[in-house]
């Protein structure tokens, strides 16, 4: 069986993860990256295609009729036309839940950064400000306890549930907004407008769909407290970046933390660039070594299950 891996560099850019496990399934061709113009040629006669963010369009599928399986190094699958794949008998399988702990960890790194202001105080100490303090404790930058704050979690899949559980462990009041009301949810479930208006922190853990695209817009931001913090580790398209930039500049909300943007890599002309109260990390939530090792295990397990005739994590 011939296997084409189209963007291995997005999984291991420093050699810390090996693709050797994939050789169990056949002849593997590894491409560090693949441009849209190269996609069909790189797939060629492959039966199995593995990718992270490469677009697998109907045109690519038609040009590569040998493809029977598309496996994703990701939970999101908006880069694959799953309807077209189903029409052509191509199975599409994602890697669900591999990054739950890592994304939840980054989410709370953001929250603790904002409320404890560790970066700001480290900077002050490095500048010598504590050395010149007349008192033993130097605290000109306000800090806050997160206990008692309202955490609004948008999306209640594996990551959303974990973030909610950690928030509750910190003593936060947790409210949930989700498309489908979960059974036996221990938290208050509410609509998005109410979640936004009540939140001290609102964090997004939902897929990018036609319904969620641009859901963070000027109208929603206008409902939020001026002290509120917005976090997005889901997909960049959930946020209208120009609206968020305006809200931060105008003081509509106090801060935003983003691990994803509408265009990635980050565009030099993103309206969010350089805004002091907007912290941007370069899509790293999923990147811990343990997380990527788990990802490889899931991808291999998906292929093994598909070959056996009992596919798992199939999204089409």
Alpha-carbon distance of 258 to 235, in angstroms, equals 10
Active site residues: 235, 264, 283
Do residues 173 and 147 make contact, with C-beta atoms less than 8 angstroms apart?
Answer: no
Alpha-carbon distance of 268 to 262, in angstroms, equals 12
What is the per-residue burial (b if ≥16 Cβ within 10 Å, else e) of 232-245?
bbbbbbbbbbebbb
Q: What angle do CA 170, 174, 176 make, to 5 degrees?
A: 145
* Helices 289-307, 100-116: inter-axial angle, 10-degree rounding: 150
Please give the biggest Cα pair distance in the chain: 75
Alpha-carbon distance of 102 to 288, in angstroms, equals 7
Alpha-carbon distance of 3 to 37, in angstroms, equals 19
Alpha-carbon distance of 155 to 140, in angstroms, equals 36
């Amino acid at each position: 069986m011939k296997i084409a891996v189209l963007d291995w560099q997005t999984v291991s850019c420093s050699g810390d993860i090996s693709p050797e496990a994939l050789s169990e399934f056949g002849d593997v061709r590894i491409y560090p990256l693949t441009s849209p113009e190269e996609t069909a040629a790189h797939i060629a006669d492959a039966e199995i295609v593995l990718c992270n963010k490469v677009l697998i369009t109907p045109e690519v599928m038609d040009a590569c009729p040998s493809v029977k399986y598309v496996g994703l190094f990701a939970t999101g699958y908006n880069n694959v036309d799953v309807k077209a794949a189903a029409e052509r008998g191509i199975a599409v399988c994602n890697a669900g839940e591999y990054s739950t702990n890592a994304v939840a960890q980054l989410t709370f790194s953001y929250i603790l950064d904002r409320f404890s202001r560790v970066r700001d105080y480290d900077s002050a100490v490095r500048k010598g400000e504590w050395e010149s303090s007349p008192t033993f404790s130097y605290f000109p930058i306000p800090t806050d306890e997160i206990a008692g704050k309202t955490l609004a979690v948008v999306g209640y899949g594996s990551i959303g549930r974990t973030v909610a559980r950690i928030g509750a462990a910190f003593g936060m009041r947790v409210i949930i907004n989700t498309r489908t009301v979960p059974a036996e949810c221990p938290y208050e479930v509410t609509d998005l407008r109410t979640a936004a208006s009540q939140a001290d922190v609102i964090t997004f853990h939902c897929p990018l769909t036609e319904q969620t695209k641009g859901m963070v817009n000027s109208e929603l931001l206008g409902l939020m407290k001026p002290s509120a913090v917005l976090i997005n580790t889901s997909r960049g398209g959930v946020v209208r970046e120009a609206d968020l930039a305006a809200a931060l500049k105008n003081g509509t909300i106090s801060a935003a933390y983003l691990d994803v943007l509408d265009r990635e890599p980050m565009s030099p002309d993103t309206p969010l660039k350089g805004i002091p109260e907007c912290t941007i990390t370069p899509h790293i939530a999923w990147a811990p070594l343990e997380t990527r090792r788990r990802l490889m295990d899931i991808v291999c397990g998906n292929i093994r299950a598909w070959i056996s005739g009992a596919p798992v994590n199939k999204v089409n």
